């Protein structure tokens, strides 16, 4: 199929700028966009080297794109969309027709591989071809790659539906189109516009799980090309006028209720903490991202119901200013809420607010006192802390070493089981697709597809992370997950040893899952708890001392 090579490399000689491909070979860079030129249906490639931007990936490679004002005109982005109008639903597209389920490819990390990456099977669906192959197979070794005849062959390839067949995309296979779009953006392929237009027609925020996920992955690709990912992420997470604080709270509460991920994390962490502080009179919990403080409501009740003398509880709540809008105020609101709960239970209580990002916290912020039983909680937080791949200082390991110096009774870690921290763009894109396929399926069985509140919840609580993963690089990429194997290596290097979770915690969570869908899976391995959907692990909970 020689024209397959033409789609990738036909006009690469047009510029002396270089582009680094995933195989690290250097090919001349060309920024070409198909452009309709007449009623005969032919297309030509428009040469333009004046308006080119480069996106640097964390692995040091570069991808390039134009400023894509035309993309913003074609596609409705998250920051301008509403629950009523983002994408039309297309009932003809069915997730049941999607071949190659990402759930079958989910075992992409190993606990024994430090910094493992998604399996190669995830990235072979859209092939990479070379200029030499193109010249030899299609035009001959002595041909002029920029000749009018070669342009005509490219025009023919882009005309009609030929490009689907040439790329090996089956009609109606949404997942293949999502994968192909990511590959095209990664390599700045000339057929990128056509693929993204195709994807737009197949996705819907009120459709099936893959349609909804595809809509937000498309938003991420558009934001990546237009360099708007960080602003969009912040607006969806915490900034007005996208949503009021009360609306954001209701979205987060809905996600908390319909999926057991947060309950699983909080319950498992609290179980380990309760076990570690039995018999202690003064307990100091340091929470590195306290958010609303919801995790500690049940802990306060449990400590207050302890037989005999009730302990004295201090909580140090750490959180950056971005969470203030979601709460409708600063950390003092969290302290007041927890104080009211403690007062109603008769539990002596004190709150210490630290308004700072996790990587900004220093020893003095913690206000330690002698005689305290110290507990440190990292619930869905540590992956937000930058490491050596972001800057010259490794805050992720620095924080762990500082915490170890406190001699804590227990440290709890709850994290998403994904591998997106240092993975290059396309591997990260595939990991995002696989991980969130499972999450969107889990949401789908719990909430009607046309529920507007469900749509808003996915936009503000899930899509924001997808956009950040796909669109952002460097310090602007906040979502930097690591598989448990790497977290374990970091903790061991900092001097920690495992603190196995109690079997009581395991039984309690199994009881919790009885009220959810049967596709949820709970696995215990060496005192570590994994919660998954079908055969994809999604969350892992562990404790250390």
Which residues in 39-180 belong to E strands, given as ranges?
43-47, 52-56, 62-66
State both tokens at 34: 């198909």
CA pair distance 211, 205, nearest whole angstrom: 7
Number of C-beta neighbours around residue 102 at 10 A: 24
CA pair distance 249, 271, nearest whole angstrom: 26
3-state secondary structure (DSSP) of residue 390: coil
Cis peptide before 241 (omega within 30 of 0): yes
Cβ atoms 36, 50 nearer than 8 A = no
Of 235, 253, 256, give the one whose Cα is nearest residue 459: 235
Of 155, 163, 157, 151, give the one whose Cα is nearest residue 195: 163
CA pair distance 183, 427, nearest whole angstrom: 10
Of 266, 337, 327, give the one whose Cα is nearest residue 302: 266
Burial of 293-320, coded b for 16+ CB within 10 Å and e otherwise, reads bbbbbebbeebbeeeeebbbbbbbbbbb
**Contacts for 181 with CB less than 8 Å, ≥ 6 apart:** 192, 195, 196, 199, 217, 218, 221
CA pair distance 372, 378, nearest whole angstrom: 19
Cβ atoms 421, 541 nearer than 8 A = no
What letter does residue 100 receive in the DSSP assignment?
Answer: S
CA-CA distances (angstroms) from residue 173 to 93, 168, 170, 202?
8, 10, 5, 9
Can you say how many angstroms the Cα of residue 487 is from the centroid of all Cα atoms in its chain? 17
pTM assigned to the model? 0.74
CATH class given for the domain over 259-417+481-544: alpha beta
CA-CA distances (angstroms) from residue 151 to 65, 145, 246?
21, 9, 56
- Residue identified by tokens 């209580």 is 349
What is the helix (H) or strand (E) element at residue 415, kind and residue range?
A: strand 410-416
CA pair distance 480, 402, nearest whole angstrom: 21
Print pLDDT tens along the chain (545 aa): 433 333 333 333 333 333 233 333 333 223 333 333 333 333 333 333 344 444 456 655 444 444 344 544 445 446 434 333 344 444 333 333 323 333 233 333 434 333 333 333 333 334 343 333 333 433 444 444 444 454 444 445 555 556 666 666 766 789 999 999 999 999 998 888 888 999 999 999 999 999 999 999 999 999 999 887 777 766 665 444 344 556 767 888 899 999 999 999 999 999 999 999 999 999 999 999 998 899 999 999 999 998 888 999 999 999 987 666 666 678 999 999 999 999 999 999 999 999 998 889 999 999 999 999 999 999 999 999 999 899 888 999 999 999 999 999 999 999 999 999 999 999 999 999 999 999 999 999 999 998 999 998 998 889 989 999 999 999 999 999 999 999 999 999 999 999 988 888 889 999 999 999 999 999 999 899 999 999 999 999 999 99
What letter does residue 305 receive in the DSSP assignment?
Answer: T
Number of C-beta neighbours around residue 156 at 10 A: 15
Q: Where are the domains of the chain?
A: 160-235+422-479, 259-417+481-544
CA pair distance 144, 153, nearest whole angstrom: 13
CA pair distance 518, 94, nearest whole angstrom: 22
35, β-bridge pairs: 44
């Amino acid at each position: 199929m020689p024209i397959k090579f033409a789609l990738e490399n036909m006009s690469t000689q047009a510029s002396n700028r270089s582009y680094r491909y995933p195989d690290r070979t250097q090919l001349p860079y060309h920024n070409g966009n198909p452009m309709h030129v007449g009623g005969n249906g032919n297309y030509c490639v428009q040469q333009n080297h004046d308006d080119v931007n480069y996106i640097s990936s964390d692995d040091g490679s570069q991808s390039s794109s134009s400023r894509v004002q035309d993309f913003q005109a074609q596609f409705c982005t998250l920051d301008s969309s509403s629950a009523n109008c983002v994408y039309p639903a297309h009932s003809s597209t069915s997730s049941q027709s999607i071949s190659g389920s990402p759930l079958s490819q989910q075992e992409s990390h190993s606990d024994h591989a430090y910094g493992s990456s998604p399996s190669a099977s995830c990235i072979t669906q859209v092939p990479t071809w070379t200029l030499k192959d193109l010249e030899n197979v299609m035009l001959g070794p002595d041909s002029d790659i920029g000749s009018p005849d070669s342009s005509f062959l490219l025009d023919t390839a882009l005309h009609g539906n030929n490009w689907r067949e040439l790329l090996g995309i089956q009609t109606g296979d949404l997942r293949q189109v999502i994968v192909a779009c990511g590959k095209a953006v990664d390599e700045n392929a000339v057929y990128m516009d056509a693929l993204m237009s195709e994807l737009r027609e197949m996705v819907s925020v009120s459709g099936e799980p893959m349609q909804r996920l595809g809509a937000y992955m498309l938003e991420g690709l558009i934001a990546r090309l237009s360099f708007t990912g960080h602003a969009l992420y912040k607006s969806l997470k915490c900034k007005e006028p996208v949503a009021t604080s009360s609306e954001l709270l209701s979205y987060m509460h809905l996600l908390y209720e319909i999926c057991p991920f947060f309950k699983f994390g909080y319950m498992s962490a609290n179980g380990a903490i309760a076990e570690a502080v039995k018999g202690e009179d003064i307990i100091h919990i340091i929470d590195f991202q306290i958010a609303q403080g919801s995790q500690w409501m049940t802990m306060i009740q449990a400590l207050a119901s302890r037989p005999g003398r009730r302990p004295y509880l201090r909580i140090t709540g750490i959180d950056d200013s971005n969470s203030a809008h979601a709460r409708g105020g600063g950390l003092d609101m969290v302290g007041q809420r927890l104080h009211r709960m403690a007062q109603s239970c008769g539990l002596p209580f004190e709150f210490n607010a630290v308004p700072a990002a996790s990587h900004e916290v220093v020893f003095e912020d913690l206000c330690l006192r002698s005689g305290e039983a110290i507990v440190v909680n990292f619930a869905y937080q540590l992956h937000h802390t930058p490491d050596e791949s972001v800057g010259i200082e490794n805050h992720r390991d620095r924080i762990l070493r500082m915490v170890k110096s406190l001699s804590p009774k227990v440290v709890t870690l709850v994290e998403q089981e994904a591998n997106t921290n240092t993975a290059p763009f396309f591997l990260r894109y595939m990991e995002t697709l696989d991980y969130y396929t499972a999450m969107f399926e889990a949401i789908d069985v719990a909430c009607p597809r046309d529920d507007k509140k469900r749509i808003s919840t996915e936009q503000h609580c899930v899509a924001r992370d997808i956009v950040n993963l796909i669109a952002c690089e460097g310090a602007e990429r906040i979502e930097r997950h690591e598989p448990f194997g790497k977290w374990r290596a970091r903790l061991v290097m900092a001097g920690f040893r495992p603190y196995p979770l109690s079997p009581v915690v395991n039984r309690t969570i199994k009881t919790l899952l009885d009220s959810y869908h049967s596709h949820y899976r709970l696995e215990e391995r060496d005192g570590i708890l994994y919660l998954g959907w079908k055969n994809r692990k999604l969350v892992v909970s562990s404790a250390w001392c």
